[in-house]
Amino acid sequence: MRRPRLIPVLALSWWIATALPAHAEFVPYLRATFGVSQLAMTSLDAAMLAQQAAIRASGGRAKFDEVDMVLGPELSAGVWLLPSLRVGTLFAWQHRDMDHRSDGALTYVDLYQIATTDAGAEVAFRMPRHSGFTIGGQIALTHGEVTNDYTVTNASGSVHVVTRVQDAQTTWGFFLGLDQTDAQKRTAGYVRLGYRFRDFGSVPGTQSITDGSGAVSTPVRSVPLDFSGWYASLGIAFDAPH
């Protein structure tokens, strides 16, 4: 009864074994990547829609965008332990500015800044005999930050509010891709599709409110912030001679 269950395991083992080259190596590498990431900012999007509705109810005209995506580079360095296996460190930064403005009976100028910074480690398994198909994972200390800076002006005056929340948490992710190396020039090109798990929950921060009578700063907590999402990236690499 157990024999049929062994067939897929044996087939997978054979496939991995044929994908592994026979010789080992220990070669340093450098990689530079640029990517785009989706963010699952459902709660933040809902909060911005509530702001939009309040502005319209007060006589202003407003159209807020969803957070949707962030962009940025990633750098990594490490070693190929085998022609098919590499380990290394990584540093990534992604950012997006969202500028919202309205006019009419109520003038509203709003800027959202969303940023993430990742510092961690990665491991990847490449199959040179299968077009460089690669599977890997990452673990990182991720610093997430959201800043909302807005000014509201109407007939009675203006109010300037700056809210900044930030936190750092351990996150992880996985990726699949294709990785092609030019053996003569020791350069490589690769594409990658992956998912990062970075749900921060409610994040602490401060809010500063300035009006005609002075300024007040108070601690606040954000709506739940989820920096998780699918990402796609394109990169180049250099492997040291050996």
162-171 pLDDT, tens per residue? 999 999 999 9
> Above 70 in pLDDT, residue 149?
yes
CATH architecture of the domain 30-239 equals Beta Barrel (2.40)
- Sorted by where each begins, the domain ranges of the chain are 30-239
pTM: 0.81
Q: What angle do CA 148, 45, 33 make, to 5 degrees?
A: 80
Structure tokens at 106: 């109520």
Q: What was the pLDDT predicted at 104?
A: 66
> Above 50 in pLDDT, residue 6?
no
162-205 pLDDT, tens per residue? 999 999 999 999 999 998 877 677 788 899 999 999 999 999 99
Greatest CA separation found in the chain? 81
Burial (CB count <10 Å: 0-12, 13-18, 19+), residue 30: middle
- 154 to 55, 101, 111: CA distances (angstroms): 11, 14, 18
Structure tokens at 223: 């709506």
Most confident range, picked from 123-127, 151-155, 157-161, 211-215 = 123-127
